[in-house]
């Protein structure tokens, strides 16, 4: 008997069961080698193949053009925030940031250590919305324009790629949205994120970077955050998180096998529509504070017991959910309430079970 928990966590998050079973089957002896992949050199032919296959899978899934490189790094999404600035802000000394929630705000603060950061609009007076693009102030001399495609904590997702009239390199944090939808990579300078939500376990950061942006880091840029060094060494400059890359490679193959990003996108829309519909049908018992047009398909925050939420009911909701083995539904500590994360490994069936529970909970507690 295995683990039958329903894991709605925001990350680390549910991984496809098939992938975990596959990992389990070769954990003690990778391809009859008599040792685990964890015990092998990052310069072995076995790991080199995994490293190259993972890059190739990302290229295939996102149709990455030839003039882009795919890198694997460490340091988490947060490391990525610093790396972006350390590698790119040098060109003009300043960068534009679109702040739509928690993570883009953290990223802007991190970048401000290394250069001048302009917010394209003042910090939102109304969280949970994206001001109209006509009101943004974009600097033609920005080294890059930065945004977070999907704010994991707040549940705000860009339904579009931001306008970039000055054609500066566009940088996107896609930690929580990567491989959930088709993306035109050619519009971007850099796409990066932690793998631990849609494409693997924690420990690896993917970076997709246009080649001409390499080679211009700040002098102070630490070697392990230096895109140019990591690229030159094909992501084995120092010891990478080999086990994480190995599992990520398997998740990427699982995505390819299950319809690619188009398949994931279709499912993602279906799953999130089902859940938002449940909120809409609850007569205000469940409510989502985010503007309709920027609601995330992936991380869905909601309150129980009315618009402001009833903390007692929410605690009960979490307690009863856990009795049904539905875990990690608690909202981020900064926003409270409930959050359901519907990453790629979450099936429609999982969402239906959550909805059934929500409907029963409402009947029993209103």
Catalytic residues: 103, 173, 197
Residue closest to ligand PMP (Cβ)? 77
Burial class of residue 66, CB neighbours in 10 A (0-12, 13-18, 19+): exposed
Closest to ligand PMP by CB, 169 or 203: 203
Closest to ligand PMP by CB, 11 or 201: 11
Minimum CB–partner distance for residue 117 and ligand PMP (Å): 17
Closest to ligand PMP by CB, 100 or 226: 100
Return d(Cα 322, Cα 328) in angstroms, integer: 9
For residues 95-109, b (16+ Cβ closer than 10 Å) or e, as one string?
A: bbbbbbbbbbbbbbe
Mapping DSSP to helix (H, G, I), strand (E, B) and coil, where does residue 235 land?
coil
Minimum CB–partner distance for residue 48 and ligand PMP (Å): 25
Return d(Cα 147, Cα 160) in angstroms, integer: 11
Residues that bind ligand PMP (CB under 6 A): 11, 76-78, 103, 148, 152, 173, 175-176, 194
Minimum CB–partner distance for residue 103 and ligand PMP (Å): 4
Minimum CB–partner distance for residue 39 and ligand PMP (Å): 25
Q: 340: which residues sit within 8 A by CB, 6+ positions away? A: 8, 275, 299, 300, 302, 329, 354
Closest to ligand PMP by CB, 175 or 180: 175
Determine the Cα angle at 83 with ends 242 and 250, to 5°: 30
Helices 45-62 and 242-257, interaxial angle, to 10°? 40
Return d(Cα 241, Cα 343) in angstroms, integer: 22
Minimum CB–partner distance for residue 73 and ligand PMP (Å): 11
Closest to ligand PMP by CB, 12 or 260: 12
């Amino acid at each position: 008997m295995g683990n039958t928990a329903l894991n709605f966590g925001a990350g680390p998050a549910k991984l496809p069961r098939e992938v975990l079973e596959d990992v389990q089957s070769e954990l003690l002896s990778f391809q009859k080698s008599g040792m685990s992949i964890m015990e092998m050199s990052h310069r072995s032919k076995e790991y080199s193949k995994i490293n190259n296959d993972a890059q190739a899978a990302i290229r295939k899934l996102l149709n990455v053009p030839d003039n882009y490189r795919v890198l694997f790094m460490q340091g988490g999404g947060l490391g990525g925030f610093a790396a972006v600035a350390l590698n790119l802000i040098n060109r003009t000394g300043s960068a534009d940031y679109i702040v739509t929630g928690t993570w883009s705000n953290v990223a802007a603060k991190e970048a401000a250590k290394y250069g001048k950061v302009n917010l394209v609009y003042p910090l939102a007076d109304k969280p949970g919305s994206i001001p109209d693009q006509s009101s943004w102030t974009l600097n033609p001399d920005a080294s890059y324009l930065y945004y977070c495609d999907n704010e994991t904590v707040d549940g705000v997702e860009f339904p579009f790629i931001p306008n970039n009239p000055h054609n500066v390199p566009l940088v996107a944090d896609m930690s929580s949205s990567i491989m959930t939808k088709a993306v035109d990579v050619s519009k971007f300078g850099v796409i990066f994120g932690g793998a631990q939500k849609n494409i693997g376990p924690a420990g690896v950061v993917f970076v997709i970077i246009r080649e001409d942006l390499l080679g211009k880091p700040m002098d102070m840029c630490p070697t392990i955050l230096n895109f140019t060094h990591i690229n030159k060494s094909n992501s084995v400059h120092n010891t990478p998180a080999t086990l994480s890359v190995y599992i990520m490679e398997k998740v990427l193959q699982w995505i390819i096998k299950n319809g690619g990003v188009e398949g994931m996108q279709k499912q993602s829309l279906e799953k999130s529509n089902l859940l938002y519909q449940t909120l809409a049908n609850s007569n205000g018992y469940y409510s989502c504070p985010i503007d309709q047009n920027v609601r995330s398909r992936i991380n869905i925050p909601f309150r129980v017991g009315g618009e402001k939420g009833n903390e007692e009911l929410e605690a009960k909701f979490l307690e009863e959910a856990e009795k049904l083995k539905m875990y990690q539904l608690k909202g981020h500590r900064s926003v409270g309430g409930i959050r359901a994360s519907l990453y790629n490994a979450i099936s429609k069936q999982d969402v239906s079970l959550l909805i059934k529970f929500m409907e029963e909970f409402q009947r029993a507690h209103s």
